[in-house]
Amino acid sequence: MAKIKSVDINKKHEQELIERLRDSGDLYNENLGEWRVVPNISTAKDMLVVGRGNKEAGAAALIAIENHPYYGKDGGDFASRISIVAGLRGHSLHESTLIERVEPIRDAAGVYITQRGDAQTPWDLVSPVGQHSEDWDYGVSGKRKETGKGMTYEAGSDVTLFADTIQLAARSGGVNIYAGGVGKTLSNGLPNEMFVGVNLIGANRIDDYDAQRTIDDTDNDYKIPTYSLQPLVKGHSLQRYLNRMQRQIGDKANDKFSKEIGNTITKITDIVALFAGVFSMGAGAAKAATTVAEVPLIINVLGQAATDMYNSTVAEINASPVFSDSYLSRWNKTN
């Protein structure tokens, strides 16, 4: 059987990215940014700014309170937005440019709290809901549907964190993410009856795929799209399924072992019968010669059957989280 080779192709790329980040930025080498100025922020009546910064602090940190540029236009209500920003407009800030609205995608880092808005739109994010390709197989055909971003979450409240790196650190653990089933109504008053769940999306891309062909291991012509958004594995459910498979393998090994033992006993019985005079000398000799010739094969088969039985038992034991090579995490869980 060919050995399975696993190579982490992302490891080198990740290291290169961290090295590039380390060698850039305001405090590293010669890259000091384009300008060091105070933001020129509009004093529009629907926008309140706290902490404009000063010449020494540069863009500094600020809090902008405003109506949503779309849902709050023309005096629309229930559409407020709060932006807590460190580095307004990021590295491209210029004092000659009048900033009338916060544009999250251009900021260095920030927390954006919106009462009513389109959650993915400011960052051009792909949505886990809806169709992303014309034939549900964008990863293979390359034919995307419209923008390929799916169905945007519209007219709802959202909280978005945006930066080069985002970290959640808990002193004693317990980082919990709840998705759905909280509260009776949504922020817009609609009944809270459904939920989408938790989605982990890499590279801001989703490739639609054929779920049935994906799980059909006999369909060698179908290539699973690289960016297909697939379900996470639930550890104990996987363990139960694998245990069932191991038990079936063990049962077959037991049956095979018993059968080979039975065949061996039969052959030995024939040899004993020879010496007891049950068979003629010629017939007995032939059986004895055949049995002796099959001894290496019998030993090999019995050994393999015994190994299969042992391995099926050990595999169940090693599935426990207490073993370092277990596929069950001791700390991380999902439903």
Give the amino acid at 110: G
User: CA-CA distance, 248 to 251, in Å (whole number)?
Assistant: 5
Q: Are 187 and 116 in contact (CB under 8 A)?
A: yes
pLDDT in tens, 89-143: 888 877 777 888 889 999 999 999 999 999 999 999 999 999 999 888 888 888 9
Question: Token pair for residue 143?
Answer: 């034919």
What does the pLDDT look like over 14-37, one tens digit per residue? 777 777 766 665 443 444 544 456
Distance CA 24, CA 60 (A): 19
The two three-digit tokens of residue 226, written as one number: 């690289």
Phi, psi of 95 (to 5 degrees): -70, -20
In DSSP terms, 61 is beta-bridged to: 86
* pLDDT tier for residue 280 given thresholds of 50, 70 and 90: low
* pLDDT for position 125: 96
The reported pTM is: 0.72
DSSP state letter for 207: B
pLDDT tens per residue, range 41-78:
766 556 777 765 555 555 556 777 878 777 777 666 78
- CA 38 to CA 115: how far, in whole Å? 28
Strand 98-99 relative to strand 40-41, pairing = parallel
Mean pLDDT (whole number) for 204-232: 90
Sign of the torsion angle spanned by Cα atoms 145, 147, 151, 155: negative
Under 8 Å between Cβ of 131 and 118: no
pLDDT of residue 4: 46
Rounded CA-CA distance 124/92 in Å is 19
The counts of H helices and E strands in the chain are 5, 7
SS3 287: helix
Closest CA to 92 of 52, 34, 31: 34
Q: What percentage of the chain carries pLDDT values higher than 90? A: 25
11 backbone dihedrals φ, ψ, rounded to 5°: -60, -45
Cα separation values, 73 from 67, 78, 80, 294, Å = 7, 11, 11, 89
Measure the CA–CA gap between 20 and 17, rounded to whole angstroms: 5
The DSSP line for 250-264 is: HHHHHHHHHHHHHHH
Pick from 289, 262, 293, 258: which is nearest to 274 by CA? 289
Q: Distance between CA atoms of 53 and 57, rounded to whole angstroms?
A: 6
State the chain's mean pLDDT as an integer.
77
Instruction: Write down the H helix ranges in the chain.
Output: 10-22, 138-141, 211-215, 235-275, 281-318
Q: How many CB atoms lie within 10 A of CB 96?
A: 7
Give the confidence band of 299 by pLDDT, cuts at 50, 70, 90: low
Ranked by mean pLDDT, which of 135-149, 273-287, 312-326 comes out on top? 135-149
- Beta bridge mates, 156: 117
